Chains A and B, each alone.
Chain A
Amino acid sequence: ELQLVESGGGLVQPGGSLRLSCAASGFTFNTYAMNWVRQAPGKGLEWVSRISGNGGKTYYADSVKGRFTISRDNSKNTLFLQMNSLRAEDTALYSCAKAGYPWELTMDVWGQGTAVTVSS
């Protein structure tokens, strides 16, 4: 069974940092790009970042560029999101999502998400 399980969320003060993880199972992790998507309370879906299967290419939404870093450890089937300089508007449920096939920019498997709250 394809599965994605996020962890690492929590309460952090403005300006603080968090590192999210996403453990993947049930598919050949290193052959698929991976994404982070977030949903703020009462809001819609917002794509955050994507990384290629081998980790060589990364993409970021303008809202997080320069503050967030996506990475992956293919030996451990794990995706990461390092979040620095956090702001109140980063408060959201963060989900990882596997790239779809044959359209890589779709997302066909999603995790349940981990909640991030940025507040003093």
Chain B
Amino acid sequence: IQLTQSPSSLSASVGDRVIISCRASQGINNHLAWYQLKPGKVPTLLIYGASTLQSGVPSRFSGSGSGTDFTLTISSLQPEDFATYYCQQLNNYPSFGQGTKLE
């Protein structure tokens, strides 16, 4: 299963509402997760099951979608949110999208 994220990069400002898309090459129900990766840091699991917020993740992050089309929304961008975001499909052979760099 291939995952295609858009855009590949995104310029935004603090306070902006940001939407990142992830499209799967075939239907995956809600079997999708989102991660945040900052340079020199380990990835952070943000969302699983397409829309369930991982414990400890700020509520400005939200996810939606089912089937083949998914989105990650950051409602009001904070300085610490500038990072690269990856979607991941959750089956026995998981795969990641190519990433979206938020700058």
Contacts and interface: CB of A to CB of B under 8 A. Distances in A.
Interface of A: 44-47, 50, 59, 61, 95, 97, 100, 103, 105-108, 110-113
Contacts of A47: 88, 93-96
Given A45-B37, A45-B99, A105 B94 contact: yes
A45 B43 contact: yes
A45 B96 contact: yes
A83 B31 CA distance: 29
Nearest to B52: A103
A61 B33 CA distance: 18
Contacts of B97: 44
| Most chain A beta-carbon contacts within 10 A, residue among B94, B95, B98 | B94
Nearest to A108: B45
B97 to A, nearest CB: 7
A44 B96 contact: yes
Nearest to B94: A47
Contacts of A106: 33, 45, 48, 88, 90
Contacts of A100: 45, 48, 54
Contact of B42 (A46, A61, A111): A111
Interface in B24-47: 31, 33, 35, 37, 42-43, 45
B91 interface: yes
B33 A103 contact: yes
Contacts of A105: 31, 33, 90-92, 94
